[in-house]
């Protein structure tokens, strides 16, 4: 299945079995683009913006879930106060 994956500056069109796998493939091809701290927007119809009222992506996949699956370590913010 073809998926359009968008998060921050990252936009990729990938072939994958599931929306989660599409996000994993997209992050593995990242070349320095910044990604959102929250979600990947995934859709079969084209790139969609999760902030849009009419053109929201079909799936929102949490960034943390994708990063953990592909082996990135996620550091928790420490309270600096």
Retrieve residue 39's tokens.
């979600």
* Nearest of 40, 36, 46, 8 to residue 21 by alpha carbon: 40
| CB contact at 8 A, 67 and 35 | no
Give the tens place of pLDDT for each residue, 12-71: 999 999 999 999 999 999 999 999 989 999 999 999 877 777 788 999 999 999 999 998
pTM recorded for the entire structure? 0.84
Domain ranges of the chain: 2-69
**Cβ–Cβ < 8 Å for 67, 49:** no
């Amino acid at each position: 299945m073809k998926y359009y994956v968008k998060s921050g500056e990252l936009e990729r069109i990938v072939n994958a079995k599931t929306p989660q796998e599409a996000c994993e493939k997209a992050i593995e091809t990242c070349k320095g683009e910044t990604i959102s701290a929250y979600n990947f927007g995934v859709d079969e119809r084209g790139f969609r913006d999760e902030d849009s009222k009419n053109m929201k992506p079909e799936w929102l996949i949490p960034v943390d879930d994708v990063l953990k699956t592909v082996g990135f370590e996620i550091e928790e913010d420490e309270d600096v106060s």
